[in-house]
Structure 1
Amino acid sequence: MPPNRRGRHNKRPLTPPEGFQLPERNQPYRTPHRSAVFALHLMAEAMGARPGSKDTKEAIHKVIGVTGRTQTDILHSGEVRSLYNQPDLGPDPRGRPRAIPHQDTSAIGDFLDDENLPLERRSQPWRDLAEDAGVELPKTTHFKPLGKRIVEPQTIQTSCKGDESIINATCEEERLLTRAQARWRVIWCIVALCLRPRSWNWWNIVFCDEFHFGIGPQITKHIKRRRGKKHRYAPHLVHRKEVTSKDTKAKAREDDHLDLLSVFVVIGYNYRRAIFYKVSNSVGKMTGDAYTQQILPVLLPELQEKGLVLAQDADSAHKSNIVANWAKKHKMPLITLPGLSPDLSIIESMANPVKKKFHSRKCKTQEESEAWFLEVWNQEMDQDTIRYMYN
């Protein structure tokens, strides 16, 4: 009698393999469960059911035990494999251990935040600065020459910049005022606020300045500080000295006879103008003749038409008798700001972006320099920005 062979078509209860067992609580779902979720939703779509629907999720939950919310998370992730089964993506993105940890850069940042810290100590090399902050610098392995040496200053600088936004910046300079100059500043501000107490009272006042573009040496101090205008113009971070870099550049131009591009710029609430001019001296210093012959005659009809008043700084040419007589003859109102008071002029706070962008490109001829300045002027000195400064 032949043996009783059972055919494969006979039904047999299916026992899930060991790798398909549900994970313990708070453990991630393994690759078989994630792939099953995608496969079953695709099968439901092929059979006419709506994938991702409540009924579909409940049916899949009964089959493999994965809840509906977890199915949604798996589908939205778009990853069939679990994290530890992902293909090799190359070296560890975390990189090698840091030579300067976060607690050390934080100690340097707290050290520099002390307002009583003098500028001389802020201008120290990075290694000396770190040691003054109480940081014990580690020794790192080097191959040329082979051996261990104290960490490089550039490593300290990079770590401080990334963690604490500390940079090696040019120290802002401010001319020291005499007692008489300081007293006149206070009087001028009191009178001006009495005459124009509100911001809209200044809408008919236009501010002017002269820009000189040339190449010359700069005697400046580089300090370590945090990035941003808040720290750039902080009183304890401004270098006050008798001779500023502006004076040094003027002396260099006088000695070397550098070619200059001189521009007289004027801005107002609804006004903006740039005028190129030339002077007889080699340092670009404004003279009374140039002011009354090349600048004021161009501005007079436009300012009278709009009812504007020109506010000028206390340059010697602006306060000369030639300018005073010319303004009186042509009935042109002028306001003269106190000396050494750039903070009282709106244009002084907006000049840096224009100068910085102009110097980003090298111009060989006078015509090329003028065309490039006008392009920079229209981009950086837009009228909306000027109105914002007035308000």
Structure 2
Amino acid sequence: MASFPWILHQAGYRQMFILGPEVEFAGVNVLLEREGFDEMISCGTRGESPRHWGCYDRELFEYAFDKYRQLIAGKQPFHLMLFTIDTHAPNGFVDPESIPFEQGTGQPDLLKAIHKTDYEVSRFIRRLQETPGWENTCVILASDHLAPPNTLTDRLEKSPRRYHLNMVLNSGKTGVVTTPGKTFDIAPTVLELLQVRHNYLFPIGESLLGQPDPRRLAEHEDFKNAIDSYTMMRSDIAISDHPTIAVQTRPLLGISVDGMLLPLFVGNGIQRLPAPNECIWITISPNKKQISHQLITNGADMLASVRQKKSYDIHIVLCHKSELQKTEKTTEKTMWLLGVGQMKNWNWTSGDRPEQLSVNWNNGTSPNWFGRKKHELRQEP
């Protein structure tokens, strides 16, 4: 599935993501690496509350401004993304060193935090405007979701409307978009504003600068199926009795089942290709023929475990085998293995690169690499 950062990556943008928490927070590092970010930076370190979020927004913007000056001095187009945290529910994080909120006496801390972040955003933008290169800089302000229950909920519920905040500054266009939209419309809209040409398909989202189909806003079952078909999770898409399995690495990393891409996604994280001597194990349920789970685990242990499964599930296994070869000098040999099977009946293939792999499931026999000794899929020191 196309994403905003991946399209920018393909267009030659250098991409940097800066946040307060550690970059491993909620699997952010795995997701961003997969989507083409070149650098992921935490501007603070974990400590006691409220510092467990790394740094205040004031510190985040200060750090980001230095990075902006470095990026704007280069010749490569760039995408600098900042993740603020001070206004996080339920109480916010009040920076004692930021501008005081004169009307804040007796007010909830969250309101004070909003005031301070508002000031820091304004100050950051003013500094950008005073920096050479501003004429080629576009600033996008976006919220990730509506406010969850917090200390200001009573006030928010009195509002007749609640909506996401989206603002674009210095794009070369002025005006207000009155066309109703949803989150999935943001990426195609911003890409058009940036004049980034691409041929990627968004399954539902459309640019709000044109004449988007109003039917996309309806809560229609077809839209759910369109999105679910990308992951084959909870969908009713039928898989053939003899599916062809292949590995795809570009433009998106995933396993192709009968030509339908299964991004390596599980839980709240985007998986990576397995490291040396690791395997990805994906299970397809025979009832609804859908993905039930996938995981990364140690290669040798996992292979033995899958072979012992006494169910009618179909398993897909992608393994990265690495071993040291001693000739005149020690070298590392890498091999990729892709298998699909049920209990002890398997078909498999191997190759030097994962994108070379494709195998058809036709109730084959157990591949000999399942029977290899554990030490042949050993972890090298």
What's the TM-score once normalised by structure 1's chain length? 0.19
Q: Name the structure with the higher helix share.
A: 1
Q: Which has the higher contact order (CA 8 A, sep 6+)?
A: 1
Q: Name the structure with the higher strand share.
A: 2
What's the TM-score once normalised by structure 2's chain length? 0.20
